């Protein structure tokens, strides 16, 4: 028998405490990658074709992060409503937005001031929340429309905001600065981790070429970017050939009254493909279920108590799940849209499912068999492909392969790119890209610049960093060696000048 509760005798309005709410929002639990992804969700819902993530930096800190998109923008009243907490916008069925707090919660997990400037039908507008304005009885600031328009007119290439678009400006980034004691190196690490994360979360949009995401770094709004990189798609299911005949296989599940397909894949063993590695770290942690909602990757890997998440023999097993939006409530999609609380009934449905005559445990065993019976590892041969003359590239490939008959070749691109002034070079293992700082190009080439210039310098640099190319993870010792080599090369360039 249920407990009978007392009768209500009155009611009084009890709005949320502004100061406590402001403190809560700064601790909601977004990583930087999750926060920026949530903001980019809004750009995609606004049908943006291009999104620019810009880091505006001082000498030793990030001053602002700006997300600019060329979507349809908002009129003043639309922007005012979008800045309201918990507002229910008229979402379409395939929109990525969900709860009406994503933009604000994501921003204040990283900063203490959020400004949004937008243009639609030739009209510009702006609004700002700050921690102080929230504490002051939720007072949203309206920004000068002319000044907002002047900022929107700035060169946001490759995004073009002259007709329509939006900029989201994160200011007073106190929480982010605490992890930036070694600023130059940590900024580069932050950007590369962001590139991998965005490339994975939004890989379907990037692959369709309906979306371009670019990250750059500049010293001020009017300054050209020091570094600009394009985010490439990382597709966890894009392998050249399946690791086992008969896969991928489709398992039919029923969760509640909703039918769900689980498409089980087996990667080929010992793959070096960036789509398999998905950035740095242990590949074994990338096995398991990949949940998609409206083409956006929500959860990448993990078995959710079906079995161990880090059993290395299951590393090749990845299962694609297309989540119908009507299952959001039963799976309890997080505010950050980065995780599910997977219900027990889903796991039970997986255990009971079949693909033809194949059970799910038999699929996992097949993936483990491919892993255990992988052929002997091939010798990996790295060689420079672009950036030097073709004849030199071919000769180096032959010489480096030597007499080995069991080897795979991994081409390395050498390019001039704008890097931090303390770096003569950097290496991106995922892209297999050896970058040389274009700031010093004329000093190295003597002004004789071409696509294949400085072949001697580039060849010597390639041999100097060969152990870096084959390293899975950059150890502290290897990192110190890179810093030393950059330091020596800088001194040599000073002597040459």
pLDDT tens for 222-240 read: 778 888 899 999 999 999 8
Residue 143 has pLDDT above 90, yes or no: yes
Residue 98: the pLDDT is 47
Residue 39 has pLDDT above 90, yes or no: yes
pLDDT tens for 363-388 read: 999 999 999 998 765 567 888 888 89
Pick the residue with more confidence: 304 or 184? Answer: 304
Residue 36 pLDDT class (50, 70, 90 cuts) = very high
Residue 472: the pLDDT is 56
Residue 54: the pLDDT is 96
Burial (Cβ within 10 Å: 0-12, 13-18, ≥19) of residue 20: exposed
Residue 213 pLDDT class (50, 70, 90 cuts) = very high
Residue 310 pLDDT class (50, 70, 90 cuts) = confident
Measure Cα distances from 177 to 24, 182, 206 in Å: 19, 10, 30
317-322/288-293 β-pairing:
parallel
What percent of the chain has a predicted confidence (pLDDT) above 90? 43
Residue 26 pLDDT class (50, 70, 90 cuts) = low
Q: Which of 65-74, 396-405, 420-429 has the highest mean pLDDT?
A: 65-74
Residue 182 has pLDDT above 90, yes or no: no
Burial (Cβ within 10 Å: 0-12, 13-18, ≥19) of residue 293: buried
Angstrom distance (rounded) from CA 146 to CA 141: 15
Residue 366: the pLDDT is 96
Residue 46: the pLDDT is 94
Q: For residue 483, what are its two tokens? A: 């810093």
Residue 481 pLDDT class (50, 70, 90 cuts) = confident
Residue 183 has pLDDT above 90, yes or no: no
Residue 227: the pLDDT is 80
Pick the residue with more confidence: 69 or 185? Answer: 69
Q: What is the mean pLDDT of the chain?
A: 85
Residue 333 pLDDT class (50, 70, 90 cuts) = low
Pick the residue with more confidence: 199 or 439? Answer: 199
Average pLDDT over residues 167-187: 75
Residue 276: the pLDDT is 93
Residue 85: the pLDDT is 78
Q: For residue 13, what are its two tokens? A: 């309005």
pLDDT tens for 94-136 read: 555 544 567 888 888 888 999 999 999 999 999 999 988 888 8
Residue 86 pLDDT class (50, 70, 90 cuts) = low
Lowest mean pLDDT among 83-92, 158-167, 345-354, 475-484: 83-92
Which residues, other chains included, contact 6 with Cβ-Cβ below 8 Å and sequence gap of 6+? none
113-120/62-69 β-pairing:
unpaired
Question: HSE on the CB side for 179, CA within 13 Å?
Answer: 11
Angstrom distance (rounded) from CA 33 to CA 468: 26
Residue 20 has pLDDT above 70, yes or no: yes
Considering the entire predicted model, what is its pTM? 0.75
Angstrom distance (rounded) from CA 220 to CA 226: 10
Ordered domains of the chain (ranges, CATH): 18-230 (3.30.565.10), 249-372 (no CATH), 379-496 (no CATH)
Residue 97: the pLDDT is 56
């Amino acid at each position: 028998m249920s407990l009978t509760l007392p009768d209500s005798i009155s009611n009084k309005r009890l709005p949320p405490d502004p100061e406590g709410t402001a403190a809560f929002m700064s601790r909601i639990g977004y990583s930087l990658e999750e926060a920026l992804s949530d903001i980019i969700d809004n750009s995609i819902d606004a049908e943006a074709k291009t999104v620019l993530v810009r880091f505006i930096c001082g000498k030793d800190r990030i001053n602002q992060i700006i997300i600019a998109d060329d979507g349809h923008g908002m009129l003043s009243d639309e922007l005012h409503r979008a800045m309201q907490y918990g507002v229910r916008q008229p979402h379409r069925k395939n929109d990525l937005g969900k709860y009406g707090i994503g933009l604000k919660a994501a921003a204040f997990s990283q900063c203490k001031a959020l400004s949004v400037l937008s243009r639609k039908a030739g009209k510009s507008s702006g609004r700002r929340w700050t921690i102080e304005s929230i504490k002051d009885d939720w007072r949203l600031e309206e920004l000068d429309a002319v000044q907002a328009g002047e900022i929107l007119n700035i060169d946001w290439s490759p995004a073009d905001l002259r007709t329509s678009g939006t900029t989201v400006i994160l200011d007073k980034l106190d929480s982010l600065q605490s992890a930036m004691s070694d600023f130059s190196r940590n900024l580069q690490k932050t950007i590369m981790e962001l590139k991998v994360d965005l490339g994975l979360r939004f890989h379907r949009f990037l692959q369709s070429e309906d979306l371009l995401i670019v990250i750059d770094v500049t010293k001020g709004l009017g300054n050209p970017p020091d570094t600009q990189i394009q985010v490439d798609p990382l597709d966890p299911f894009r392998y050249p050939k399946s690791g086992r005949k008969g896969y991928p296989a489709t398992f039919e599940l029923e969760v509640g009254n909703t039918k769900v397909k689980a498409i089980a894949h087996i990667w080929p063993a010992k793959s070096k493909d960036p789509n398999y590695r998905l950035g740095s770290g242990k590949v074994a942690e990338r096995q398991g279920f990949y949940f998609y909602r409206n083409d956006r990757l929500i959860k990448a890997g993990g078995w959710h108590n079906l079995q161990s998440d880090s059993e290395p023999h299951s590393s090749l097993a990845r299962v694609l799940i297309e989540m119908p939006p009507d299952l959001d409530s039963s799976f309890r999609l997080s505010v950050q849209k980065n995780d599910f609380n997977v219900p027990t009934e889903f796991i039970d449905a997986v255990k009971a499912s079949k693909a033809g005559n194949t059970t799910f445990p038999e699929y996992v065993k097949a993936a483990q068999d491919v892993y255990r019976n992988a052929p002997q590892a091939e010798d990996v041969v790295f060689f420079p492909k672009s950036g030097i003359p073709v004849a030199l590239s071919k000769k180096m490939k032959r010489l480096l392969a030597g007499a080995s008959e069991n080897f795979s070749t991994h081409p390395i691109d050498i390019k001039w790119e704008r890097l931090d002034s303390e770096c003569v070079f950097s290496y991106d293992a995922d892209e297999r890209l050896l970058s040389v700082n274009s700031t010093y190009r004329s000093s190295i080439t003597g002004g004789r610049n071409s696509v294949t210039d400085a072949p001697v310098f580039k060849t010597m640099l390639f041999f100097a960093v060969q152990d870096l190319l084959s390293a899975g993870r950059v150890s502290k010792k290897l990192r110190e060696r890179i810093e030393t080599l950059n330091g020596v090369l800088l001194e040599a360039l000073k002597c040459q000048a």
